[in-house]
Amino acid sequence: MAMYLIGDVQGCDAALAQLTQHIDFSPSRDTLYLLGDLVNRGPDSAGVLRRLMGYGASARCLLGNHDLHLLAVSHGARKPGRHDTLDELLAAPDCPALLDWLRTQPLAMLERVGNLDLLMVHAGVLPAWTATKTIALAAEVEAVLRSDDAGTFFHTMYGNAPVQWSDTLMGIARLRVIVNALTRMRFCTQEGAMEFGSSGGADQAPAGYLPWYEAPGRQTADVAVAFGHWSTLGWLGRSDVLALDTGCVWGGCLSALRVEPGTKTAEPWKTELFQVRCSQSQKPGD
């Protein structure tokens, strides 16, 4: 049984089909972990969701900012963007079923791989959050998304403030910080104040900010964190950080990382990277 982490698909179903064929994926044997942004910007978001739904428990999917955007648009809480490619999905006869499935997906997952804990999110984790706390905070938002209050939540979800976490936060302010960290963050200060105006590479941090995973004293430094979202960062494979958004929809690659327990004490796990080219040629963006 193989475990594969897959970066941002963003509606590129043909690339996803090619990648699953390339890795010889079998739903009866293997498990895919998709790191969010399943939909939008690519040509076939509905096809992506149908494919992943069809894999059942063999495809475990995170929600990304584009996935939440789709849900907000479907509830009338957000206007479609100029570069959105969601019309066909929203007009599909099975759209209600696809959206009901989508809103039940988590914002964070934590798995044990050999002797190592692997935390998976779409964008990032604030420095003050442990892996266990990240899962608990994600569950607070997930409960709202799966409830009858989801529509009301989408009308208040957007906004950059508060920019920093506090355990005293309540209500929409609390939920918004959780969503922004897990689905939008790239840079933050050492103290965990987030910045949302920059989308360049790790070496293009605004003054006073740094990539979230470089924050001193980060409480998830004792686990490996896998994420997508950051196409200008690209593939990054460290013992503590795995970045998998390699810009499929922007003409780059769709990437899958096979992860399995190591065979030696000094090797907590083994990884192998697989990539397929994508035919999209949109301009890089969020």
Which stretches within the chain are classed as H helix?
13-22, 45-54, 65-74, 87-91, 95-102, 131-145, 150-156, 171-183
Q: What is residue 279's predicted lDDT score, i.e. its pLDDT?
A: 76
Write down the domain spans for the chain. 3-277
Residue burial 32-61, b: 16+ Cβ < 10 Å; e: rest: bbbbbbbbbbbbbbbbbbbbbeebeebbbb
CB 249 within 8 A of CB 10: yes
Q: Tokens representing 11? A: 């509606």
| Helix (H) / strand (E) containing 111 | strand 108-113
For residue 266, the model assigns a pLDDT of 66
What is the per-residue pLDDT for 115?
Answer: 82
Sheet architecture: strand order including 224-227:
108-113, 116-121, 224-227, 241-243, 236-237
Give helix 171-183 / helix 131-145 axis angle, nearest 10°: 110
Say what the pTM is: 0.96
* Ranges of the chain with pLDDT below 70: 264-266, 280-286
Residue 261: the pLDDT is 84
CATH number of 3-277: 3.60.21.10
Give the per-residue pLDDT at 284. 44
- Contact between 218 and 189 (Cβ < 8 Å): no
Q: Which tens digits make up the pLDDT trace of 14-40? A: 999 999 999 999 999 999 999 999 999
Task: Tell me if 116 sits within 8 A of 269, measured CB to CB.
Answer: yes
Residue 242: CB partners within 8 Å, gap ≥ 6? 5, 224, 225, 226, 227, 236, 257, 271
Is 170 buried (19+), middle (13-18) or exposed (0-12) by CB count in 10 A?
A: exposed
Please report how many Cα atoms fall inside a 13 Å half-sphere around the Cα of residue 16, on the Cβ side: 29
pLDDT given for residue 280 in this prediction: 63
pLDDT of residue 138: 98
Q: What is the DSSP letter of 42?
A: S
Residues 6+ apart with CB under 8 A from 208: 189
Cβ neighbours of 81 (radius 10 Å): 15
Q: State pLDDT tens for residues 148-169.
A: 999 999 999 999 999 999 999 9
- How far CA 147 is from CA of 57, 141, 219, in Å, comes to 22, 10, 31
